[in-house]
Amino acid sequence: MTTHSITITQPDDWHLHLRDGDILNSVAPFTAKQFQRAIVMPNLVPAVTTVTQAVAYLDRILAAVEGTDFEPLMTLYLTDNTSAEEITAARKSCFIKGVKLYPAGATTNSDEGVTDIRRCYPALEEMQRAGLPLLVHGEVTDSSIDVFDREKVFIDRVLAPLIDTFPELKIVFEHITTADAVDFVLAVGPLIGATVTAHHLIYNRNAMFEGGIRPHHYCLPVLKREKHRQALLKAIASANPKFFLGTDSAPHAKHRKESDCGCAGIFSAPFAIELYATVFEMIDALDKLEAFASYHGPDFYGLPRNNGTITLQKVAHRVPESYPLADQSIVPLMAGQSIPWQLVPAND
Ligand code: DOR
Ligand code: ZN
Protein backbone atom coordinates (compact mmCIF):
# COMPACT_ATOMS: atom_id res chain seq x y z
CA MET A 1 0.00 0.00 0.00
CA THR A 2 1.25 3.49 -0.81
CA THR A 3 1.59 5.89 2.10
CA HIS A 4 -0.20 9.18 1.43
CA SER A 5 0.57 11.01 4.62
CA ILE A 6 2.72 10.62 7.71
CA THR A 7 2.64 12.36 11.06
CA ILE A 8 5.79 12.42 13.14
CA THR A 9 7.01 14.07 16.33
CA GLN A 10 8.22 17.55 15.45
CA PRO A 11 11.83 17.23 14.28
CA ASP A 12 14.91 19.29 15.16
CA ASP A 13 17.84 20.32 12.98
CA TRP A 14 21.09 19.50 14.77
CA HIS A 15 23.33 21.49 12.40
CA LEU A 16 22.25 24.77 10.84
CA HIS A 17 23.72 28.04 9.55
CA LEU A 18 21.43 31.03 10.00
CA ARG A 19 23.95 33.85 9.35
CA ASP A 20 23.09 37.32 10.62
CA GLY A 21 21.36 40.61 9.74
CA ASP A 22 19.09 40.69 6.70
CA ILE A 23 20.11 37.18 5.61
CA LEU A 24 19.14 35.78 9.01
CA ASN A 25 15.74 37.45 8.69
CA SER A 26 15.26 35.92 5.23
CA VAL A 27 16.29 32.33 6.03
CA ALA A 28 15.29 31.65 9.66
CA PRO A 29 11.52 31.35 9.00
CA PHE A 30 12.12 28.40 6.65
CA THR A 31 13.60 26.41 9.51
CA ALA A 32 11.11 27.62 12.12
CA LYS A 33 8.14 26.34 10.12
CA GLN A 34 9.43 22.74 10.17
CA PHE A 35 11.71 22.32 13.14
CA GLN A 36 11.14 22.95 16.84
CA ARG A 37 14.83 23.50 17.59
CA ALA A 38 18.11 23.87 15.76
CA ILE A 39 21.75 23.83 16.72
CA VAL A 40 22.95 27.14 15.29
CA MET A 41 26.50 27.31 13.97
CA PRO A 42 28.72 30.11 15.28
CA ASN A 43 30.78 30.85 12.13
CA LEU A 44 29.75 34.48 11.80
CA VAL A 45 32.21 37.28 11.13
CA PRO A 46 33.40 37.90 13.77
CA ALA A 47 32.88 34.38 15.12
CA VAL A 48 30.68 33.74 18.16
CA THR A 49 33.47 32.91 20.59
CA THR A 50 31.99 34.15 23.88
CA VAL A 51 28.81 33.63 25.87
CA THR A 52 28.14 37.38 25.64
CA GLN A 53 28.23 37.22 21.83
CA ALA A 54 26.04 34.11 21.86
CA VAL A 55 23.37 35.86 23.97
CA ALA A 56 23.29 38.79 21.57
CA TYR A 57 23.08 36.43 18.56
CA LEU A 58 20.30 34.46 20.25
CA ASP A 59 18.30 37.68 20.63
CA ARG A 60 18.72 38.51 16.95
CA ILE A 61 17.56 35.02 15.94
CA LEU A 62 14.54 35.21 18.23
CA ALA A 63 13.61 38.54 16.64
CA ALA A 64 13.89 36.92 13.20
CA VAL A 65 11.44 34.12 14.13
CA GLU A 66 9.06 36.19 16.22
CA GLY A 67 5.58 34.71 16.37
CA THR A 68 6.84 31.11 16.26
CA ASP A 69 7.92 28.87 19.14
CA PHE A 70 11.19 27.94 17.45
CA GLU A 71 14.02 27.45 19.93
CA PRO A 72 17.59 28.19 18.79
CA LEU A 73 20.21 26.06 20.54
CA MET A 74 23.39 28.10 20.58
CA THR A 75 27.02 27.10 20.13
CA LEU A 76 30.40 28.66 20.78
CA TYR A 77 33.20 28.77 18.22
CA LEU A 78 36.32 27.06 19.54
CA THR A 79 39.61 28.93 19.05
CA ASP A 80 43.18 28.31 20.14
CA ASN A 81 42.44 30.72 22.98
CA THR A 82 39.07 29.54 24.28
CA SER A 83 39.49 29.45 28.05
CA ALA A 84 38.16 26.91 30.53
CA GLU A 85 36.35 29.86 32.18
CA GLU A 86 34.43 30.60 28.97
CA ILE A 87 33.35 26.95 28.86
CA THR A 88 32.19 27.13 32.47
CA ALA A 89 30.20 30.25 31.61
CA ALA A 90 28.71 28.43 28.59
CA ARG A 91 27.62 25.50 30.74
CA LYS A 92 26.04 27.83 33.28
CA SER A 93 24.21 29.75 30.54
CA CYS A 94 21.99 26.69 29.85
CA PHE A 95 21.22 27.84 26.30
CA ILE A 96 24.63 26.93 24.86
CA LYS A 97 24.48 23.30 23.81
CA GLY A 98 27.81 22.71 22.12
CA VAL A 99 31.19 24.05 21.08
CA LYS A 100 32.18 23.92 17.42
CA LEU A 101 35.60 22.88 16.22
CA TYR A 102 36.56 24.30 12.84
CA PRO A 103 40.10 23.43 11.85
CA ALA A 104 41.50 26.82 10.74
CA GLY A 105 40.99 27.25 7.01
CA ALA A 106 38.75 24.18 6.59
CA THR A 107 35.64 25.99 5.38
CA THR A 108 33.55 29.20 5.33
CA ASN A 109 34.56 31.64 8.07
CA SER A 110 36.99 29.26 9.72
CA ASP A 111 39.96 31.64 9.83
CA GLU A 112 39.57 32.08 13.57
CA GLY A 113 39.41 28.29 13.99
CA VAL A 114 41.79 25.90 15.66
CA THR A 115 45.37 25.64 14.36
CA ASP A 116 46.40 22.84 16.70
CA ILE A 117 43.92 20.89 18.80
CA ARG A 118 46.44 20.61 21.64
CA ARG A 119 46.00 24.35 22.23
CA CYS A 120 42.38 23.60 23.15
CA TYR A 121 43.07 21.02 25.84
CA PRO A 122 42.08 23.27 28.78
CA ALA A 123 38.74 24.04 27.10
CA LEU A 124 38.19 20.40 26.11
CA GLU A 125 39.00 19.25 29.64
CA GLU A 126 36.30 21.53 30.98
CA MET A 127 33.81 20.49 28.28
CA GLN A 128 34.39 16.85 29.17
CA ARG A 129 33.78 17.67 32.83
CA ALA A 130 30.68 19.76 32.07
CA GLY A 131 29.17 17.29 29.56
CA LEU A 132 29.17 19.97 26.85
CA PRO A 133 29.48 18.32 23.42
CA LEU A 134 32.22 19.11 20.91
CA LEU A 135 30.79 19.53 17.41
CA VAL A 136 33.39 18.68 14.84
CA HIS A 137 34.00 19.79 11.27
CA GLY A 138 36.02 16.68 10.48
CA GLU A 139 38.41 17.58 7.71
CA VAL A 140 42.14 18.17 7.73
CA THR A 141 43.32 21.34 6.03
CA ASP A 142 46.67 20.00 4.83
CA SER A 143 46.80 21.06 1.17
CA SER A 144 48.83 17.99 0.27
CA ILE A 145 45.84 15.80 1.15
CA ASP A 146 43.37 15.22 -1.66
CA VAL A 147 40.15 17.11 -0.96
CA PHE A 148 38.15 13.87 -1.20
CA ASP A 149 40.31 12.21 1.48
CA ARG A 150 40.29 14.98 4.08
CA GLU A 151 37.57 13.45 6.24
CA LYS A 152 39.23 10.05 6.39
CA VAL A 153 42.62 11.56 7.21
CA PHE A 154 41.01 13.72 9.91
CA ILE A 155 39.69 10.58 11.59
CA ASP A 156 43.16 9.04 11.71
CA ARG A 157 45.14 12.14 12.57
CA VAL A 158 42.81 14.11 14.84
CA LEU A 159 39.58 12.44 15.88
CA ALA A 160 40.79 9.02 16.99
CA PRO A 161 43.64 10.48 19.09
CA LEU A 162 41.24 13.08 20.52
CA ILE A 163 38.88 10.37 21.72
CA ASP A 164 41.81 8.54 23.32
CA THR A 165 42.81 11.72 25.16
CA PHE A 166 39.27 12.70 26.20
CA PRO A 167 37.38 9.40 26.50
CA GLU A 168 34.46 10.99 28.36
CA LEU A 169 33.96 13.89 25.92
CA LYS A 170 30.70 13.89 23.96
CA ILE A 171 31.43 14.46 20.28
CA VAL A 172 29.19 15.01 17.27
CA PHE A 173 30.98 14.18 14.05
CA GLU A 174 29.13 16.66 11.85
CA HIS A 175 27.90 16.13 8.28
CA ILE A 176 29.63 12.80 7.74
CA THR A 177 30.25 11.96 4.10
CA THR A 178 32.20 8.71 3.89
CA ALA A 179 31.95 4.99 4.60
CA ASP A 180 35.08 5.55 6.72
CA ALA A 181 33.20 7.97 8.97
CA VAL A 182 30.21 5.62 9.29
CA ASP A 183 32.49 2.72 10.23
CA PHE A 184 34.38 4.87 12.71
CA VAL A 185 31.25 6.14 14.44
CA LEU A 186 29.93 2.59 14.70
CA ALA A 187 33.21 1.33 16.12
CA VAL A 188 33.59 3.89 18.92
CA GLY A 189 31.56 4.25 22.12
CA PRO A 190 28.12 5.77 22.67
CA LEU A 191 29.48 9.28 23.36
CA ILE A 192 30.21 9.75 19.65
CA GLY A 193 27.27 10.56 17.34
CA ALA A 194 27.03 11.96 13.82
CA THR A 195 24.78 14.22 11.80
CA VAL A 196 23.87 13.41 8.22
CA THR A 197 22.74 16.02 5.68
CA ALA A 198 20.02 15.55 3.07
CA HIS A 199 22.38 16.55 0.27
CA HIS A 200 25.00 13.94 1.12
CA LEU A 201 22.20 11.34 1.10
CA ILE A 202 20.77 12.47 -2.23
CA TYR A 203 23.86 13.18 -4.32
CA ASN A 204 27.24 11.72 -5.09
CA ARG A 205 30.11 13.77 -6.47
CA ASN A 206 28.93 13.48 -10.07
CA ALA A 207 26.27 16.06 -9.14
CA MET A 208 28.96 18.76 -9.11
CA PHE A 209 29.84 18.13 -12.75
CA GLU A 210 26.58 17.21 -14.47
CA GLY A 211 26.77 18.83 -17.91
CA GLY A 212 29.05 21.55 -16.51
CA ILE A 213 30.22 22.88 -13.18
CA ARG A 214 27.36 23.04 -10.66
CA PRO A 215 28.16 25.55 -7.93
CA HIS A 216 24.92 24.90 -6.06
CA HIS A 217 26.09 21.36 -5.39
CA TYR A 218 29.37 22.51 -3.89
CA CYS A 219 29.69 22.20 -0.14
CA LEU A 220 32.23 21.13 2.44
CA PRO A 221 32.88 18.36 3.11
CA VAL A 222 32.54 17.94 -0.63
CA LEU A 223 30.15 15.32 -2.09
CA LYS A 224 31.80 11.91 -2.35
CA ARG A 225 31.68 8.74 -4.48
CA GLU A 226 28.51 6.67 -4.77
CA LYS A 227 29.86 3.93 -2.47
CA HIS A 228 30.09 6.50 0.32
CA ARG A 229 26.54 7.73 -0.28
CA GLN A 230 25.39 4.12 -0.08
CA ALA A 231 27.15 3.76 3.27
CA LEU A 232 25.31 6.84 4.60
CA LEU A 233 21.98 5.44 3.39
CA LYS A 234 22.72 2.13 5.09
CA ALA A 235 23.57 3.98 8.31
CA ILE A 236 20.29 5.88 8.45
CA ALA A 237 18.28 2.83 7.43
CA SER A 238 19.78 0.90 10.32
CA ALA A 239 17.97 3.18 12.81
CA ASN A 240 21.11 3.28 14.92
CA PRO A 241 20.65 6.14 17.44
CA LYS A 242 24.16 7.44 16.74
CA PHE A 243 22.96 8.98 13.47
CA PHE A 244 20.64 11.98 13.42
CA LEU A 245 19.37 14.82 11.29
CA GLY A 246 21.54 17.87 10.66
CA THR A 247 20.87 19.76 7.43
CA ASP A 248 24.01 21.91 7.36
CA SER A 249 21.82 24.30 5.37
CA ALA A 250 24.36 27.02 4.57
CA PRO A 251 22.93 30.02 2.74
CA HIS A 252 25.06 32.05 0.34
CA ALA A 253 23.64 34.61 -2.10
CA LYS A 254 23.31 33.38 -5.71
CA HIS A 255 26.10 35.63 -7.00
CA ARG A 256 28.47 34.37 -4.29
CA LYS A 257 27.89 30.79 -5.44
CA GLU A 258 27.94 31.50 -9.18
CA SER A 259 31.36 33.09 -9.09
CA ASP A 260 34.93 32.35 -10.17
CA CYS A 261 35.57 31.34 -6.55
CA GLY A 262 32.17 30.15 -5.38
CA CYS A 263 31.35 29.70 -1.69
CA ALA A 264 30.84 26.26 -0.17
CA GLY A 265 27.37 25.63 1.16
CA ILE A 266 24.02 24.18 0.11
CA PHE A 267 20.77 25.92 1.04
CA SER A 268 18.39 23.10 1.90
CA ALA A 269 16.32 24.80 4.62
CA PRO A 270 13.11 25.51 2.64
CA PHE A 271 12.18 21.83 2.13
CA ALA A 272 14.58 20.02 4.41
CA ILE A 273 12.20 17.63 6.12
CA GLU A 274 10.50 16.86 2.80
CA LEU A 275 13.89 15.95 1.30
CA TYR A 276 14.72 13.59 4.17
CA ALA A 277 11.25 11.99 3.82
CA THR A 278 11.95 11.48 0.12
CA VAL A 279 15.25 9.77 0.90
CA PHE A 280 13.77 7.50 3.57
CA GLU A 281 10.93 6.50 1.26
CA MET A 282 13.41 5.80 -1.56
CA ILE A 283 15.24 3.28 0.62
CA ASP A 284 11.96 1.84 1.87
CA ALA A 285 12.57 3.06 5.42
CA LEU A 286 9.93 5.74 5.91
CA ASP A 287 9.12 4.14 9.27
CA LYS A 288 12.66 5.10 10.43
CA LEU A 289 12.33 8.81 9.59
CA GLU A 290 10.80 9.84 12.92
CA ALA A 291 13.56 8.37 15.08
CA PHE A 292 16.28 9.89 12.89
CA ALA A 293 14.64 13.31 12.69
CA SER A 294 13.02 13.62 16.11
CA TYR A 295 14.42 11.14 18.67
CA HIS A 296 18.10 10.40 18.17
CA GLY A 297 19.23 14.04 18.33
CA PRO A 298 17.57 15.04 21.61
CA ASP A 299 18.48 11.67 23.13
CA PHE A 300 22.14 12.24 22.28
CA TYR A 301 22.15 15.81 23.60
CA GLY A 302 20.21 14.78 26.73
CA LEU A 303 17.28 17.04 25.86
CA PRO A 304 13.58 16.18 25.91
CA ARG A 305 11.93 14.99 22.71
CA ASN A 306 9.40 17.45 21.30
CA ASN A 307 5.71 17.15 22.13
CA GLY A 308 4.22 18.52 18.92
CA THR A 309 3.85 16.78 15.58
CA ILE A 310 4.15 17.64 11.91
CA THR A 311 2.37 16.02 9.00
CA LEU A 312 3.81 15.40 5.57
CA GLN A 313 1.63 14.45 2.63
CA LYS A 314 2.48 12.80 -0.64
CA VAL A 315 1.83 15.77 -2.90
CA ALA A 316 4.42 16.55 -5.54
CA HIS A 317 5.39 20.21 -5.79
CA ARG A 318 8.04 22.24 -7.52
CA VAL A 319 10.85 23.93 -5.63
CA PRO A 320 11.13 27.63 -6.59
CA GLU A 321 14.10 28.61 -8.78
CA SER A 322 15.17 31.11 -6.13
CA TYR A 323 14.05 33.10 -3.11
CA PRO A 324 14.67 36.73 -2.19
CA LEU A 325 17.62 37.12 0.17
CA ALA A 326 17.72 40.61 1.62
CA ASP A 327 18.22 42.68 -1.59
CA GLN A 328 19.68 39.68 -3.45
CA SER A 329 18.53 36.14 -4.18
CA ILE A 330 19.38 32.61 -3.14
CA VAL A 331 19.05 29.29 -4.95
CA PRO A 332 17.68 26.39 -2.87
CA LEU A 333 18.64 22.76 -3.19
CA MET A 334 16.66 21.12 -6.04
CA ALA A 335 15.64 24.48 -7.49
CA GLY A 336 13.03 24.05 -10.22
CA GLN A 337 12.67 20.33 -9.52
CA SER A 338 9.80 18.36 -8.09
CA ILE A 339 9.72 16.90 -4.56
CA PRO A 340 7.16 14.18 -3.80
CA TRP A 341 6.48 15.12 -0.16
CA GLN A 342 5.04 18.33 1.24
CA LEU A 343 4.77 19.66 4.78
CA VAL A 344 1.19 20.41 5.82
CA PRO A 345 1.19 23.94 7.29
CA ALA A 346 0.72 23.89 11.08
CA ASN A 347 -2.72 25.55 11.15
CA ASP A 348 -4.35 23.43 8.38
O1 DOR B 1 29.49 23.82 2.84
C2 DOR B 1 29.68 24.34 3.93
N3 DOR B 1 29.21 25.58 4.22
N4 DOR B 1 30.37 23.68 4.86
C5 DOR B 1 30.72 24.25 6.01
O6 DOR B 1 31.38 23.61 6.77
C7 DOR B 1 30.38 25.66 6.30
C8 DOR B 1 29.23 26.08 5.54
C9 DOR B 1 29.04 27.59 5.56
O10 DOR B 1 29.08 28.18 6.62
O11 DOR B 1 28.81 28.16 4.48
ZN1 ZN C 1 27.99 23.56 8.76
Confidence (pLDDT) at 326: 85
**Ligand 1 mean position to 107 CA, how many Å?**
6
Annotated catalytic, 299? no
| Residues contacting residue 164 through CB under 8 Å, at least 6 positions apart | none
Find out whether 97 and 73 touch, Cβ atoms under 8 Å: yes
**Ligand 1 mean position to 137 CA, how many Å?**
9
Confidence (pLDDT) at 264: 98
- pLDDT tens sequence for the chain (348 residues): 567 999 999 999 999 999 999 999 999 999 999 999 999 999 999 999 999 999 999 999 999 999 999 999 999 999 999 999 999 999 999 999 999 999 998 887 888 899 999 999 999 999 999 999 999 999 999 999 999 999 999 999 999 999 999 999 999 999 999 999 999 999 999 999 999 999 999 999 999 999 999 999 999 999 999 999 999 999 999 999 999 999 999 999 999 999 999 999 999 999 999 999 999 999 999 999 999 999 999 999 999 999 999 999 999 999 999 999 989 999 999 999 999 999 999 875
Residues with CB under 5 A from ligand 2 (ion): 248
CA atoms of 46 and 216, how far apart (whole Å): 25
Query: From the CB of residue 80, how many other CB atoms can be counted at a distance below 10 Å?
Result: 15
**Ligand 2 mean position to 55 CA, how many Å?**
20
Which residue CA neighbors atom 10 of ligand 1 most closely? 108
In 3D space, the residue among 239, 309, 236, 231 whose CA is nearest the CA of residue 275 turns out to be 236
Confidence (pLDDT) at 179: 98
Q: Which ligand is nearest to the CA of 137?
A: 1
Confidence (pLDDT) at 2: 65
User: H helices of the chain, where?
Assistant: 21-32, 51-64, 84-93, 121-130, 150-154, 160-165, 179-187, 198-202, 226-237, 254-257, 272-282, 289-290, 296-301
Ligand 1, residues 172, 217, 219: which to mutate, most atoms within 8 A of Cβ? 219
- Give the three-state DSSP class for 62: helix
Q: Count how many Cα atoms sit within 13 Å of the Cα of residue 323 in the half-sphere of its side chain.
A: 21
Confidence (pLDDT) at 118: 96
**Ligand 1 mean position to 220 CA, how many Å?**
6
Find out whether 75 and 96 touch, Cβ atoms under 8 Å: yes
Between strands 309-313 and 5-9, the pairing is: antiparallel
Q: Please state the pTM of the whole predicted model.
A: 0.98
Which residue CA neighbors atom 4 of ligand 1 most closely? 220
Rg (CA), the chain: 19
CA atoms of 214 and 207, how far apart (whole Å): 7
Between strands 71-77 and 328-330, the pairing is: unpaired
Domains in the chain, start-ordered, CATH in brackets?
9-310 (3.20.20.140)
Ligand 1, residues 20, 43, 135: which to mutate, most atoms within 8 A of Cβ? 43
Q: Which ligand is nearest to the CA of 217?
A: 1
Nearest atom, ligand 1, residue 174 CA = 6
Given 12, 13, 180, 248, the catalytic residue: 248
State how far the alpha carbon of 318 is from the alpha carbons of 165, 260, 269, 338, 342, in Å.
49, 29, 15, 4, 10
Pocket of ligand 1 (CB under 6 A): 17, 43, 107-108, 137, 219-220, 250, 264-265
**Ligand 1 mean position to 265 CA, how many Å?**
5
Distance from the Cα of residue 126 to its chain's centroid: 24
Confidence (pLDDT) at 51: 98
Confidence (pLDDT) at 110: 87
Confidence (pLDDT) at 244: 98
